[in-house]
Amino acid sequence: MKAESVDGGCILACRECDALHRLKVRLRPGHIVLCSRCHALLHTFMHPNAREHCLALHVAALMLFALANFFPFLTLKISGREATDMFVSATTALFAIGSVDIAILVLLTSVVFPLLTMLGALYLLIPARFGRQAPAAGTVFRLVRRITPWSMLGVFMLGVIIAIVKLLDMAELEFGVALFAFLALLPVYVLAQQGFRAALFWPVQRAIPGHGEPCLPGRARDHGLVHCHTCGWLMPGHEAPVRCPRCADTVHARKPDSIARTWALLITGVMLFIPANVFPIMTVIQLGDGEPNTIFGGVVHLIEAGMWPLGLIVFFASIIVPISKFVVILFLLLSVRRGSGWRAQDRTRLYRVTESIGSWSMVDIFVIGLLASLVHFGNIIQIRPEIAASFFAATVVVTMLAAQSFDPRLIWDRLAESQEQRRPSREQAVG
Ligand SMILES: [Zn+2]
Ligand SMILES: [Zn+2]
């Protein structure tokens, strides 16, 4: 029997432009559904055994995660001295050298949040496999969705690779089983995350209770509907917040105070980015010789040492990405304020890219954290994070919050308003 989805006829609302859609066909493997207005991803084919697949991937991911955290990942040998480290000891060493903020950030984004997303998903998936719903399923689903953007295993892996290449220059390395487990974990974790969706736990939506049939197409707002960003449920609502009956999230027609919040976070991000670049971010002392380096100084060092691919990655992630984010968010805020109808689809795409690349700036923090915690060889070589590391980490967190607080539906609202305003004046001109 050919796999076919059960979602034909379901109603979907676009989270980026608020357009309503009804899925007219049954999806086949490989099919994806994009919004016809803004091209955001609305839906993908769901295999009849999607629950079992997602459960198996999460179990595998949890086992690999345990292997990666309970076994040594690297042995360093410098001048006859040797040290073996585990991923977890990277964070404890950071606590020990007094970089508490960096230690907490690394611990949360590379250990605690990935673990919580996996455990939360398993809590829902195991009963779902037997046709049951776990107690407080909506709340757990909401929490998993909330922390997913802060679970940065992919970025951490890139940090591990860069740290290893840098260490090759200073020490002899032996790789442990945890490193290979971590390499295997990454694709499994990404697939598990992609498969985790509301449709695994709740049936697809074909009607809006107590509302009748909304005439499509149109914006959810025009039909007096609001759309839960966490689980996708459409329900009657206007400006006042309503509670989602599935995941218990508070649902607003538009993110509350989106523009003001985004402005505040953007300005804070820019203010933090200045000291992050002016002050030194890391000090490397080798045989008593060495000095503090800024972000840019570190990039120049890497390029001078012949490690230009790494230098370019750090330059791109730590300088180009944050600056681009500032410029794009500023542009989006100004264009929404002016009520611009100019290339709404492209501006939405720009927002989508900005939101998705934000966490990759964290790579330099992971590299510094790993180097500082792994290289502790007394007088031979010492690496420690400096004040700019804290500023830079705060910049990344604040700009991620800024992108999350911006509501891309405002781009389309302004477009609709400007079309409304133009219509009567054209009619008058014709009359
Ligand atoms: Zn859309
Ligand atoms: Zn919901």
Q: Specify the pLDDT at position 172.
A: 86
**Mean pLDDT in residue range 68-93:** 83
Instruction: Say if residue 22's pLDDT is above 50.
Output: yes
pLDDT at 4: 55
Record the tokens describing residue 377, joined without a space: 């060889």
The model's pLDDT over 120-145, given as tens digits with 9 standing for 90+, comes to 999 999 999 998 999 999 999 999 99
Q: Average pLDDT in the 32-46 region?
A: 88
Share of the chain above pLDDT 90, in %: 45
Confidence of residue 394 (pLDDT cuts 50, 70, 90): very high
Examine the pLDDT at 213 and tell me if it is beyond 70: no
With a cut of 90, say whether residue 306 has pLDDT above it.
no
pLDDT at 429 exceeding the cut of 50? no
Under the banding of pLDDT at 50, 70 and 90, the label for residue 264 is very high
In this structure, of 141-145, 330-334, 421-425, the range with the lowest mean pLDDT score is 421-425
Give the Cα separation of 129 and 7 in Å (integer).
19
User: What's the CA-to-centroid distance between 228 and ligand 2, angstroms?
Assistant: 5
- Please give the pLDDT value at position 228: 93
pLDDT digits (tens, 9 = 90+) for 40-79: 898 888 888 899 999 999 999 999 999 999 998 888 888 7
Using the mean position of ligand 1's atoms as its centre, give its distance from the Cα of residue 40 in Å.
5
Residues 6+ apart with CB under 8 A from 393: 101, 102, 105, 362, 365
Q: Where are the domains of the chain?
A: 50-202+246-251, 257-419
Please report which confidence band the pLDDT of residue 431 belongs to, taking 50, 70 and 90 as the band edges: very low
| Ligand showing the shortest atom-to-Cα distance for residue 38 | 1
Residue 199's H or E segment, with its range, is: none
Q: What's the average model confidence in pLDDT over 356-368?
A: 89
Mean pLDDT of the chain: 87
Give 323 Cα–ligand 2 centroid separation in angstroms. Answer: 34
Average pLDDT (156-165) is 90
Which of 274, 21, 96, 20 shows the shortest CA–CA distance to 8? Answer: 21
How far is ligand 2, taken at its centre, from the CA of residue 404, in Å? 17
User: How is residue 225 written in tokens?
Assistant: 């509907």
**Mean per-residue pLDDT for 241-268?**
93
Q: How confident is the model at residue 290 (pLDDT cuts 50, 70, 90)?
A: confident
Nearest bound ligand to the CA of residue 235: 2
201 CA from centroid of ligand 2 (Å): 12
- Judged by its nearest atom, the ligand closest to the C-alpha of residue 141 is 2
85: pLDDT strictly greater than 60: yes
d(CA 198, CA 234): 13
Tokens encoding 404: 């999350």
> What are the pLDDT digits (tens) for 189-212?
999 999 999 989 998 888 787 766
- Given a cut of 70, whether residue 352 has pLDDT beyond it is yes
pLDDT at 331: 94
* Domain made up of 257-419: CATH architecture: Up-down Bundle (1.20)
Q: How confident is the model at residue 5 (pLDDT cuts 50, 70, 90)?
A: low
pLDDT value of position 124: 96
Question: Distance from the CA of 230 to the center of ligand 2, in angstroms?
Answer: 5
Residue holding tokens 């002392």? 285
Considering only CA atoms, give the Rg of the chain.
24
pLDDT of amino acid 347: 92
pTM over 0.75: yes
Q: What is the pLDDT of residue 430?
A: 43
| Separation of CA 14 and ligand 1 centre (Å) | 5
Interval between CA 153 and ligand 2 midpoint (Å): 26
- Please give the distance, rounded to the nearest whole angstrom, from the Cα atom of residue 194 to the centre of ligand 2: 18
Q: 35 C-alpha vs ligand 1 centroid, how far in Å?
A: 5
Cα dihedral 179, 184, 187, 192 in deg (nearest 10): -110
Distance 11 CA to ligand 2 centre (A): 15
Q: How confident is the model at residue 250 (pLDDT cuts 50, 70, 90)?
A: very high
Arithmetic mean of pLDDT, 2-13: 70
Q: Which ligand places an atom closest to the C-alpha of 13?
A: 1
List of long-range contacts for 123-130, beta carbons under 8 Å, 24+ apart: 124/200, 124/201, 125/51, 125/54, 125/55, 125/58, 125/200, 126/55, 128/51, 128/55, 128/200, 128/201, 129/51, 129/52, 129/55
Residue positions counted in the chain: 431
Query: Which pLDDT score, from 0 to 100, does residue 1 have?
Result: 41
